[in-house]
Amino acid sequence: MQENQEKFIDLINKKISGKNLKYSILTMGCQLNENDSEKIAGMLEKMGYSEISDYKNADLVIFNTCCVRENAEERLFGKIGEIKKLKESRDTILAIGGCMMQEKGMLQKIKKSYSFVDVIFGTHTMQNLPEDIYKSLINKEKVKDVIDIDGEIYEGLPIKRNDKFKASVTIMYGCNNFCTYCIVPYVRGRERSRKPEKILEEVKQLAEEGYKEITLLGQNVNSYVGNGEIKNFADLLNEVCRIDGIERIRFISPHPKDFTDDVIDAIANNEKICKIIHLPLQSGNSKVLKSMNRKYTKEQYLNLVNKMQEKIPGVVLSTDIIVGFPEETDEEFEDTLDVVRKVNFEQIFMFIYSIREGTVASEMEQIPEDKKHERFEKLKKLYESRVDENNEKYLNTVQKLLIEGTSKNNHEMFEGRTDTNKVVIFKPNEENQIGDIVSVKITEAHKWYLKGEIVK
Ligand code: SF4
C-alpha cells in the first residue's frame, strides 16, 4: 500500500474509532468490478468501518458502477434518489465509482442533477478512496476524483474477499480491442498487465489462507504480457499451476483471436486448469464479426474450437452472444445458430444488442426491437433444447466438486460445482465440509442442476 493511503486510513481510523460506523457497497457488473469492490471493502475495514448488507442503515454507501449493460444508468439514478432521502434522516456519505463515472458527460450530469453526491471516483483512482473519504468526512468537501489517463497499477491494497475458498485475482486491466459495440476500452483504458511476481505472490498468499480455487481475471486475459521467464498468459498459467494448495484454476475472459496453441497446451497438460473454456463468440457470421471488429471469422472460430476439442479431452465451452447487432440480417443470424449447433456450448450468456453512446456501433443502422426479440427467442429455444442432452452426458460419471455450501432448497444437502461449472446437489457424509473437494457420482440430471452421491 502507498504511504498516502496508509496515512489517510490511519487518520480516518482515529477519527471514527469507537463510533461503530457501517458501510455498504452495491456492485454492478462483472467479476472485475466484484474484485474491485473487495479491495474497496478491504480499505474501508482498515479505516474502521464494518460491513452492513442493508445500505439503508449504512453511514457510508458506495456504488461501484458498470456501464456495459442497458438500463444501468436508470438503475443507478433510482438508487441515488433513495440515498437522497436517507441523507435527510442520517448523515450518510454517498460515494460513486467505477466504469460509469468515466463516461463522457457523467460528471456534469451528477454535478447538475445530483449535487448531494459526496464522492465521485473513477476506475483509475480507486486507490485514492481513503483520501477522498477523509476530505468528505472531515472537511465536508464534495470530491471529484476522476482522471482520463490510464492509471498505474496499485499493488498491495487491502482486500476483504467475499468467499473463503474461491478467489478472483486480476492479472490485467483495460482493453485494446475496441469492439465496436463496447464501451470498456473508453472507461477502463488501455491494457496494463500486473507483474507476474505480484500475481504469484497473491496466489501463494491465497493458498496459504486455504483458498482452493482461483479465477484469473482480465478483459482479455490471453493478451497478458509478463516479463523474464513468465512472458505470456500460457507461462503464467503453467506457473500458477505449480502453487501447492490451489487445486482449481479458471480464467475469464479470453479473446478468440489471441487464443494461442501454448494456452491450449497449458490447459491440456495441467489437471488443475478447469476444462471449461469461456470463448466469447458474439456472432457466428463473418460479416457481422467484421463490423463488430472482432478480428476472427466464423471459420477461424470453429477451427479454434476443433483444435481445443482435439487437444483437451472432455473440454466444454461456454460463450457470450449478442443478438440483433446493427445491420444484422436474418440470414446472418442463421450463422450464429449454425455455430451454436456445431459447438454445442454448455452455457450461453445471451444479450440483446443495445446502444452504448460513444461507440462506433451506436452510429450504425439499428434493427427493429421486435426483430431483435424474435431472434433472441430463437436462440434461447435452440440453447434450451440442448440443455437436457448436455446434462444427461454427466449421468453415471464421477465428478470432482468443490463444496460451496448447503443447498438453498434443502439444508440437509450440500451444493458444489464440477470443474465445468455444473451445480451438483448431494447428501454429505460426516467428514464433508464446505470448501472440500470431493468425488460425487451423478445420479440425476435436471435442467439447471445435477444430483449425485458421494463416492467413498
Ligand atoms: S475485447 Fe471487445 S468486448 Fe471485450 S472488453 Fe475489449 S472491447 Fe469490450
Instruction: Measure the CA–CA gap between 65 and 119, rounded to whole angstroms.
Output: 13
Provide the grid cell at 265.
497446451
Q: Whose CA is nearest to atom 2 of ligand 1?
A: 179
CB neighbourhood size of 142 (10 A): 13
Residue to probe by mutation, ligand 1, list 219, 349, 351, 356, most atoms within 8 Å of CB: 219
At 62 the three-state DSSP class reads strand
Please give the backbone phi and psi of residue 313, each rounded to the nearest 5 degrees, phi first.
-60, 135
**Among 161, 178, 179, which residue's Cα sits nearest to residue 170?**
161
Above 70 in pLDDT, residue 228?
A: yes
Average pLDDT, the chain: 93
Burial (0-12, 13-18, 19+ Cβ within 10 Å), 296 = buried
Lowest mean pLDDT among 106-110, 117-121, 214-218: 106-110
Pairing of strands 93-98, 60-65: parallel
Distance from residue 175's CA to the centre of ligand 1 (Å): 6
Q: What dotted CATH number matches 3-145?
A: 3.40.50.12160
Lowest mean pLDDT among 64-68, 207-211, 336-340: 64-68
1: confidence class by pLDDT, cuts 50, 70, 90: low
Distance from residue 407's CA to the centre of ligand 1 (Å): 35
Residue to probe by mutation, ligand 1, list 99, 175, 360, most atoms within 8 Å of CB: 175
Of all residues in the chain, what percent carry a pLDDT higher than 70?
99
Residues 6+ apart with CB under 8 A from 261: 307
Q: Identify whether the C-beta of residue 451 lies closer than 8 Å to the C-beta of residue 444.
A: yes
Above 90 in pLDDT, residue 421?
A: yes
Instruction: Measure the CA–CA gap between 294 and 178, rounded to whole angstroms.
Output: 9
Atom of ligand 1 nearest to the CA of 176: 6
Atom of ligand 1 nearest to the CA of 188: 5
Q: pTM (2 decimals)? A: 0.93
Instruction: Measure the CA–CA gap between 282 and 253, rounded to whole angstroms.
Output: 13
Residues 6+ apart with CB under 8 A from 9: 43, 46, 47, 130
Pairing of strands 398-406, 414-417: antiparallel
Q: Identify whether the C-beta of residue 58 lies closer than 8 Å to the C-beta of residue 22.
A: yes
Atom of ligand 1 nearest to the CA of 219: 5
Q: What is the pLDDT of residues 99-113, one digit of tens each?
A: 888 888 888 888 888
Average pLDDT value for residue range 138-160: 86
Q: Which residue has the higher pLDDT, 47 or 90?
A: 47
Distance from residue 58's CA to the centre of ligand 1 (Å): 35
Atom of ligand 1 nearest to the CA of 294: 2
Q: Identify whether the C-beta of residue 35 lies closer than 8 Å to the C-beta of residue 168.
A: yes
pLDDT value of position 145: 87
Q: Whose CA is nearest to atom 4 of ligand 1?
A: 219
Above 70 in pLDDT, residue 208?
A: yes
pLDDT value of position 200: 98
Is the CB–ligand 1 distance for residue 420 below 6 Å? no
The CATH architecture of the domain made up of 166-392 is Alpha-Beta Horseshoe (3.80)
The domain locations on the chain are 3-145, 166-392, 398-454
Is the CB–ligand 1 distance for residue 175 below 6 Å? yes
Omega within 30 of 0 (cis) for the link into 253: yes
Residue to probe by mutation, ligand 1, list 177, 259, 319, most atoms within 8 Å of CB: 177
Above 90 in pLDDT, residue 409?
A: no
Is the CB–ligand 1 distance for residue 223 below 6 Å? no
pLDDT value of position 2: 75
The top-level CATH class assigned to 398-454 is: mainly beta
Is the CB–ligand 1 distance for residue 282 below 6 Å? no
What distances in angstroms separate CA 368 from CA 47, 82, 326, one per listed residue?
A: 51, 34, 9
pLDDT value of position 212: 96
Residues 6+ apart with CB under 8 A from 395: 442, 443, 444, 445
Omega within 30 of 0 (cis) for the link into 50: no
Instruction: Measure the CA–CA gap between 261 and 308, rounded to whole angstroms.
Output: 9
